[in-house]
Chain A
Amino acid sequence: MSKFVDRPRYACALGGALATLRAIPRVIPIIHASTGCGHNLHNAINPGAGYLGGGYCGGLALPSSNVAERDVVFGGETRLKEQIASTLEIMDGDLYMVLTGCMVEMIGDDLDAVASEFEDSEKPVIAVHTPSFRGNSFTGYELVLESLIRRFIPKQPQKEPGTVNVLGIVPAQDVFWKGNLREIKRLLERLGLRVNTFFGEGETLDDIRNSGKASLNIVVSDVYGIEAAREFEDIHGIPYIVTGFPIGADAAGEFLLSVADALGIDGSQAEAVIESEKQVYYEYLERLADIYNDLDLQRYAVVVGDSNYAPAISRFLSDDLGWLPELVVITDFLDESQKNTVAGRFDNFESGVRPNVRFDTDASSVRRYMAEIWPRNRNERYYDSMSPAVVVGSVYERDLAERFGFPLLTVSFPVTNRVVLNRAYAGTSGALCLAEDLFGILAAGR
């Protein structure tokens, strides 16, 4: 049974769907909803995702039926039909996707019937049911992918060996999604693979159309994209593996080995790639040998984030930087089995550090957990405080960080205090960026 949420760190299914479509070139969303839905969601996703902007046809340019009370009386279908037809006249796209909001779903508009009237249009029109009450942004991502997989991507009986799809990185909700996809792709290409990430640099709708040819789907998440991978398996017969989200050289190494294993690629080829990745990685990290040890830059850490970032960053802090992530708060809606899977990621850190892991969607809870996991100072003369520490979280953690006097690096949604373009935190080169940013804030006053 779900509960209220103190400052949600996601939008709704419609928001997730819009953000996902925002990431595919020349796809035109048509919102069938109340007047405010698109506007509200843009004003959440734009600042929350490091100022993603409206792009080609997002933001206030989003076509929307803007159904109001008087339309409710007659049903919204007539209005939707008019809106789809006029959108096809005005907006220049290659695929039109109708997304619904709560209100039209509640009054029972027959979305699929209206959309099917446009079957013969020059460019495809696909309808997806995305009311807010169905779930959050992550749900929206799955719903859009499910529709594409079922209704847009043609079946390809002949698979291409060495072609893979990457799932599990949710545009905008992962603020660094595009950079991360580039890095994941780069790593996989080093194994000699052809990689389709759906939303990556230079990728188009055609890459999505051709994704049925892949011989493996790689889900870089314990939670997101798994539904989509199952759909791919059911409909297109493409098997999938779940690898978790890799940050750091060891994590990237394990990621590459599991992919190589699934595709029957010679392990030694993967080992060679990993070796050369590590060489570059440590060539850079070596620079920190001086300042890290000169100034004692080991830190305690509080990590607040989603199921991808929280475990991956904690492990990187613990095993690559030698820091002490003491508290980790994971902020998604998860069921028990998902919680167990994600919690399992914290079991075997090489450092032996075992963070306190909590699952909680409320922004105000983090401070309470701080009090729980670390004894308070009861006016002791000698008090072993959890300091110096760094908070890695979202912008919601700013008050917490200020209260304790800890520096904050915002990584997980919402990130309104940074502008993000092509930065990545995944993989090996992403981990170097993360190290740069973390030590950068420690050096900022110097």
Chain B
Amino acid sequence: MNYLDAKSAPAREDRLKTNIAFGGTCAQIRGCIRAGCFSGKGCLNLADRRFAETQGCQFTLSLAILNTLRNAVVIMHAPIGCGACSIGNVGVNKTFKQLRDPSAEGVVWLSTNLDEVDVINGGERKLREAVLYADREFRPETIIVANGCVPALIGDDIDSILADLETQTAAKIVPIHCEGFKTKVMATAYDAVYHGILKKLTKKPERQQYLAESDLDKIREQYRISRNVNVLNVSSMSRQDELELQRLLNAIGLNVTFIPCYAEPEDFEYSLESSLNVSICGTHDDYFVEHIRENYGVPFLIDTIPIGRKNTDRWILKIAGHFGLEKEAQRLIEVENRLLDESLKPFRKVLAGKRAFLAGGEVRIVATAEILQDLGMEIVGFKAHHFDRFIEPMFDSLDNVDDVVIDVATNQPFEQSNLLNRLKPDVLITHTGGNNIYAKHGLPILPLFGPSYNYMGYSGVFEVARRLNRVMRNCQFNKKLSRYTRLPFRKEWYEKDPFAYIKNQDAV
């Protein structure tokens, strides 16, 4: 894979043949996976909807990573509204950054505020002013310029402007081309962000060369690198998640660094002094790790996400396998499983037989279902943001899900509301957003992820069980809401097939 000569990363519709509209059962979708519908053939690639609700774009999702970077200022080259969602990160991201560096600054961003005049004349002047202001006022290590739809449509030559500006700024300038209209697969954002990082921030670190270096020092350094892995974190995970994964890999003798979220720009240089890049989620990282392997020879692992017992076992074993540490890993897994299993017993008593619906990222929902099955619960439905080949290894850890319904939809609460109404689960485990709708179904809701809760590793399984038990003990709040507030969908909608508005490629 090498897209780095291109201005921007390709849309995932094209690169991965990703699908965003599908309704069927798990057995059907697994058949599609085997037949190559989500990869080579891409036969569901152009499926879409006649009715749609709003969803994230690659600009907003790019900010989920960019707003975590330390020592960076983000410039939104766009009209005033683009990236306004950063308002929601002002407080929390400062706190999360400070968990990594107590003196970290909060989130700072500038909007170039393109107006009607700029739409005609171009936004170059404002972009220049914003970059120079950011450099002077905040003295960041890096200035990140994320552009929205408008500069892409008026044809601002952003890369040239920024290359010229970089000669005047102390900060490095990283362009991120993430205009929303380019793709409906919002996960293209990860590629867009990595594209900028790969082009501007990853290079071999400039280490001081010693005139005389003892063999021991050299060997020590080589050993350090040979035992270091980069775990590619995601902004939806917590510091507790990181600490748990670090604990597990430390236990088999590996050292861990986390990128890209909450990293400092120079961390991307040091990340090249590593023996393995470990993705925890294929949806996020394939673009980055493939390019790093190609350009710097660091191998990578993309397999499963360490959520749920079997997935965590598998994740550790795969990593251990790379280093020949299988025995150590087996011992660890055995101890961890024994302790965890014991801790789950009281929750199994309460939760066994309860029916759950899961909605969110393709990898995350299927992995989380493993925890639920571990607790004896029944999976009655899935909704995935999108589908591509990275889902393939995920189903291995689940039993008896062939007939379970699966909806592929980025957000689209109308379909989920219809499904909830049909399936009547006892609990909903869902991605953030849309709970103004789901709460009115009057059922307990557990967030699918949370940057301040632990979900990953063995401790994550216990934490999910514990919280699930808690939310299911009392859902009066949602129950009362369902009694006294109304859903916005007509009753006729609930009589229709939940997938009635999906149009296949023939309809496009």
By a beta-carbon cutoff of 8 Å, the part of chain A in contact with chain B is 1-8, 10-15, 28, 31, 34-44, 46-48, 53-69, 72, 82-83, 86-87, 89-93, 101-103, 106-107, 131-136, 364, 395-396, 398-399, 414, 416-417
Given contacts A4-B130, A63-B51, contact A40 B488 (CB under 8 A): no
Interface pick from B35-43, B55-63, B200-208, B291-299: B55-63
Judge whether B181 is part of the interface by a CB distance below 8 angstroms: yes
Cβ contact within 8 Å between B110 and A13: no
Using Cβ atoms and an 8 Å threshold, which residues of chain A touch B154? 106
Q: Give complex CA distance A309, B496 in Å.
A: 49
Judge whether B171 is part of the interface by a CB distance below 8 angstroms: no
Cβ contact within 8 Å between A107 and B53: no
Cβ contact within 8 Å between A4 and B111: yes
By a beta-carbon cutoff of 8 Å, the part of chain B in contact with chain A is 11, 50-60, 75, 78-88, 90-91, 105-106, 108-119, 126, 129-130, 133, 137-138, 148-150, 153-154, 179-184, 186, 411, 413-414, 433-437, 485-486, 488-490, 492-493, 501
Given contacts A56-B488, A60-B434, A69-B182, contact A47 B81 (CB under 8 A): no
Given contacts A92-B490, A102-B149, A133-B79, contact A40 B111 (CB under 8 A): no
Cβ contact within 8 Å between B181 and A416: no
Partner of B180, one of A36, A46, A57, A399: A36
Cβ contact within 8 Å between B54 and A4: no
Using Cβ atoms and an 8 Å threshold, which residues of chain A touch B85? 39-41, 43-44
Partner of A2, one of B115, B137, B437, B488: B115
Given contacts A40-B57, A44-B85, A416-B87, contact A132 B80 (CB under 8 A): yes
Best-buried of B57, B82, B87 by chain A (most CB within 10 Å): B87
Partner of B88, one of A3, A43, A82: A43
Closest to B92 in A: A416
Given contacts A47-B87, A47-B88, A398-B91, contact A61 B437 (CB under 8 A): yes
Given contacts A34-B149, A66-B184, contact A10 B80 (CB under 8 A): yes
Given contacts A3-B129, A59-B436, contact A11 B84 (CB under 8 A): yes
- Minimum CB–CB distance from A14 to chain B (whole Å) comes to 6
Q: Give complex CA distance A5, B84 in Å.
A: 12
Partner of A39, one of B110, B130, B411, B492: B411
- Minimum CB–CB distance from A226 to chain B (whole Å) comes to 20
Q: Give complex CA distance A239, B216 in Å.
A: 88
Closest to A71 in B: B181
- Minimum CB–CB distance from B297 to chain A (whole Å) comes to 35
Cβ contact within 8 Å between B87 and A44: yes
Given contacts A5-B111, A56-B486, contact A36 B56 (CB under 8 A): yes
Partner of A61, one of B130, B149, B184, B414: B414
Given contacts A4-B111, A133-B119, contact A34 B490 (CB under 8 A): no
- 7 A-B pairs besides A6-B137, A34-B149 with CB distance below 8 A are A47-B87, A56-B485, A59-B435, A62-B53, A63-B52, A106-B154, A136-B80
- Minimum CB–CB distance from B223 to chain A (whole Å) comes to 43
Closest to B83 in A: A40
Partner of B149, one of A4, A63, A103: A103
Partner of B436, one of A6, A41, A53, A134: A53
Q: Give complex CA distance A135, B81 in Å.
A: 9
Given contacts A43-B88, A102-B150, contact A61 B110 (CB under 8 A): no
| CB pairs A–B below 8 angstroms (16 shown) | A6-B110, A10-B84, A36-B60, A44-B86, A56-B486, A60-B411, A60-B433, A64-B52, A66-B55, A72-B181, A86-B51, A107-B153, A133-B114, A134-B115, A364-B137, A398-B91
Partner of A68, one of B108, B115, B183, B434: B183
Cβ contact within 8 Å between B490 and A7: no
Given contacts A90-B490, A90-B493, contact A395 B91 (CB under 8 A): yes
Using Cβ atoms and an 8 Å threshold, which residues of chain B touch A34? 57, 149, 179-181
Using Cβ atoms and an 8 Å threshold, which residues of chain B touch A61? 53, 413-414, 434, 436-437, 488
Q: Give complex CA distance A38, B433 in Å.
A: 12
Cβ contact within 8 Å between B413 and A60: yes
Q: Give complex CA distance A135, B270 in Å.
A: 43
Using Cβ atoms and an 8 Å threshold, which residues of chain B touch A132? 78-82, 150
Cβ contact within 8 Å between A1 and B84: no
Using Cβ atoms and an 8 Å threshold, which residues of chain A touch B489? 90-92
Cβ contact within 8 Å between B53 and A60: yes
Cβ contact within 8 Å between A69 and B181: yes
Closest to B182 in A: A69
Using Cβ atoms and an 8 Å threshold, which residues of chain A touch B11? 69
Cβ contact within 8 Å between B436 and A58: yes
Cβ contact within 8 Å between B150 and A37: no
Cβ contact within 8 Å between A39 and B60: yes
Using Cβ atoms and an 8 Å threshold, which residues of chain A touch B75? 4
Using Cβ atoms and an 8 Å threshold, which residues of chain A touch B130? 4
Partner of A6, one of B86, B133, B179, B180: B133
Cβ contact within 8 Å between B80 and A106: no
Cβ contact within 8 Å between B51 and A87: yes
Partner of A133, one of B115, B180, B437, B485: B115
Closest to B126 in A: A4
- Minimum CB–CB distance from A172 to chain B (whole Å) comes to 11
Cβ contact within 8 Å between B87 and A3: no
- Minimum CB–CB distance from B289 to chain A (whole Å) comes to 26
- Minimum CB–CB distance from B484 to chain A (whole Å) comes to 13
Q: Give complex CA distance A134, B83 in Å.
A: 16
Given contacts A35-B180, A61-B413, contact A46 B186 (CB under 8 A): no
Cβ contact within 8 Å between A8 and B111: yes
- Minimum CB–CB distance from A25 to chain B (whole Å) comes to 10
Q: Give complex CA distance A14, B118 in Å.
A: 18
Closest to A29 in B: B54
Q: Give complex CA distance A136, B51 in Å.
A: 28
Closest to A101 in B: B149
Best-buried of A11, A13, A53, A102 by chain B (most CB within 10 Å): A102
- Minimum CB–CB distance from B59 to chain A (whole Å) comes to 6
Cβ contact within 8 Å between A39 and B150: no
Q: Give complex CA distance A10, B414 in Å.
A: 29
- Minimum CB–CB distance from B241 to chain A (whole Å) comes to 22
Q: Give complex CA distance A131, B86 in Å.
A: 19
Q: Give complex CA distance A64, B130 in Å.
A: 31
Using Cβ atoms and an 8 Å threshold, which residues of chain A touch B79? 12, 102, 131-133
Closest to B178 in A: A36
Q: Give complex CA distance A107, B150 in Å.
A: 11
Given contacts A8-B84, A12-B84, A43-B85, contact A37 B180 (CB under 8 A): yes
Cβ contact within 8 Å between B81 and A12: yes
Partner of A40, one of B59, B91, B153: B59
Using Cβ atoms and an 8 Å threshold, which residues of chain A touch B108? 6-7, 364
Cβ contact within 8 Å between A36 and B57: yes
Using Cβ atoms and an 8 Å threshold, which residues of chain B touch A43? 60, 84-85, 87-88, 433
Q: Give complex CA distance A106, B129 in Å.
A: 24
Q: Give complex CA distance A10, B381 in Å.
A: 39
Using Cβ atoms and an 8 Å threshold, which residues of chain A touch B179? 34
- Minimum CB–CB distance from B197 to chain A (whole Å) comes to 21
- Across the A-B interface, give the 8 residue pairs with the lowest CB-CB distance, nearest first: A36-B57, A12-B81, A38-B54, A132-B79, A54-B436, A44-B84, A86-B51, A43-B85
Cβ contact within 8 Å between A28 and B488: yes
Closest to A49 in B: B87
Cβ contact within 8 Å between A89 and B181: no
Cβ contact within 8 Å between A69 and B183: yes
Using Cβ atoms and an 8 Å threshold, which residues of chain B touch A93? 488
Cβ contact within 8 Å between B113 and A8: yes
Cβ contact within 8 Å between A35 and B54: yes
Using Cβ atoms and an 8 Å threshold, which residues of chain B touch A41? 81, 84-85
- Minimum CB–CB distance from B374 to chain A (whole Å) comes to 30
Using Cβ atoms and an 8 Å threshold, which residues of chain B touch A87? 51
- Minimum CB–CB distance from A402 to chain B (whole Å) comes to 10
